[in-house]
Amino acid sequence: MAFDNRDRTVFIKHKICRFCADPSLKIDYKEPGTLAVFTSERGKIIPRRISGNCARHQRVLALAIKRARKIALLPFTTAKTKMKEYREF
Protein backbone atom coordinates (compact mmCIF):
# COMPACT_ATOMS: atom_id res chain seq x y z
CA MET A 1 0.00 0.00 0.00
CA ALA A 2 0.87 3.62 -0.20
CA PHE A 3 3.23 5.42 2.11
CA ASP A 4 2.85 9.06 1.23
CA ASN A 5 4.88 11.95 2.58
CA ARG A 6 1.91 14.29 2.90
CA ASP A 7 2.42 16.01 -0.45
CA ARG A 8 2.20 13.18 -2.92
CA THR A 9 -0.65 10.79 -3.14
CA VAL A 10 0.75 7.53 -4.37
CA PHE A 11 -2.36 5.43 -4.33
CA ILE A 12 -5.79 6.70 -5.27
CA LYS A 13 -8.57 4.82 -3.55
CA HIS A 14 -11.97 4.55 -5.13
CA LYS A 15 -14.10 6.03 -2.42
CA ILE A 16 -17.42 5.32 -4.05
CA CYS A 17 -19.18 2.04 -3.65
CA ARG A 18 -19.13 0.43 -7.07
CA PHE A 19 -22.33 -1.42 -6.47
CA CYS A 20 -24.19 1.75 -5.47
CA ALA A 21 -22.74 3.64 -8.43
CA ASP A 22 -23.73 0.97 -10.91
CA PRO A 23 -27.01 -0.74 -9.97
CA SER A 24 -26.66 -3.13 -12.91
CA LEU A 25 -23.62 -4.65 -11.18
CA LYS A 26 -24.89 -7.64 -9.28
CA ILE A 27 -23.23 -9.43 -6.36
CA ASP A 28 -23.68 -13.09 -7.16
CA TYR A 29 -21.80 -16.00 -5.65
CA LYS A 30 -22.07 -17.74 -9.01
CA GLU A 31 -19.98 -15.00 -10.64
CA PRO A 32 -16.46 -15.38 -9.29
CA GLY A 33 -15.13 -12.85 -11.82
CA THR A 34 -16.87 -9.92 -10.12
CA LEU A 35 -16.05 -11.19 -6.63
CA ALA A 36 -12.38 -11.83 -7.39
CA VAL A 37 -11.86 -8.07 -7.84
CA PHE A 38 -12.60 -7.68 -4.12
CA THR A 39 -10.18 -10.35 -2.96
CA SER A 40 -6.42 -10.04 -2.61
CA GLU A 41 -3.87 -12.23 -4.31
CA ARG A 42 -3.80 -14.32 -1.17
CA GLY A 43 -7.53 -14.82 -1.48
CA LYS A 44 -8.52 -12.54 1.38
CA ILE A 45 -11.52 -10.24 1.22
CA ILE A 46 -10.40 -6.64 0.68
CA PRO A 47 -11.56 -4.49 3.63
CA ARG A 48 -14.16 -1.83 3.12
CA ARG A 49 -11.79 1.01 3.97
CA ILE A 50 -9.71 0.09 0.95
CA SER A 51 -12.30 -1.12 -1.54
CA GLY A 52 -14.61 1.81 -0.76
CA ASN A 53 -17.71 -0.32 -0.62
CA CYS A 54 -20.62 0.76 1.52
CA ALA A 55 -21.47 -1.28 4.61
CA ARG A 56 -24.53 -2.87 3.05
CA HIS A 57 -22.79 -4.01 -0.10
CA GLN A 58 -19.68 -5.14 1.77
CA ARG A 59 -21.83 -7.46 3.88
CA VAL A 60 -23.54 -8.93 0.83
CA LEU A 61 -20.21 -9.20 -0.95
CA ALA A 62 -18.48 -10.98 1.94
CA LEU A 63 -21.31 -13.48 2.10
CA ALA A 64 -21.13 -14.08 -1.65
CA ILE A 65 -17.36 -14.58 -1.50
CA LYS A 66 -17.74 -17.09 1.33
CA ARG A 67 -20.39 -18.97 -0.63
CA ALA A 68 -18.22 -18.96 -3.73
CA ARG A 69 -15.33 -20.36 -1.69
CA LYS A 70 -17.46 -23.20 -0.40
CA ILE A 71 -18.36 -24.33 -3.89
CA ALA A 72 -14.74 -23.88 -5.01
CA LEU A 73 -15.29 -20.93 -7.34
CA LEU A 74 -12.88 -18.81 -5.27
CA PRO A 75 -9.88 -19.88 -3.20
CA PHE A 76 -9.81 -19.75 0.60
CA THR A 77 -6.09 -19.12 0.29
CA THR A 78 -3.21 -19.70 -2.08
CA ALA A 79 -0.59 -22.44 -1.84
CA LYS A 80 1.98 -20.17 -0.16
CA THR A 81 1.98 -21.02 3.52
CA LYS A 82 5.45 -20.00 4.64
CA MET A 83 5.56 -17.77 7.71
CA LYS A 84 7.44 -15.18 5.73
CA GLU A 85 4.45 -14.54 3.52
CA TYR A 86 2.00 -14.38 6.39
CA ARG A 87 1.96 -10.61 6.59
CA GLU A 88 1.01 -10.16 2.96
CA PHE A 89 -2.57 -9.55 2.02
Surface-to-core class of residue 54, CB atoms within 10 Å of its CB (0-12 exposed, 13-18 middle, 19+ buried)? middle
29 near Zn ion (CB under 5 A): no
Q: Is the CA virtual torsion 56, 59, 63, 69 positive or negative?
A: positive
How many separate helices (H) and strands (E) can be counted in the chain? 4, 0
Q: Which is nearer to Zn ion, 10 or 55 (CB)?
A: 55
Q: Which is nearer to Zn ion, 13 or 80 (CB)?
A: 13
Q: Which is nearer to Zn ion, 15 or 82 (CB)?
A: 15
CB of 84 to Zn ion, least distance (A): 36
74 near Zn ion (CB under 5 A): no
57 near Zn ion (CB under 5 A): yes
Binding site residues, Zn ion, CB under 5 A: 17, 19-20, 54, 57
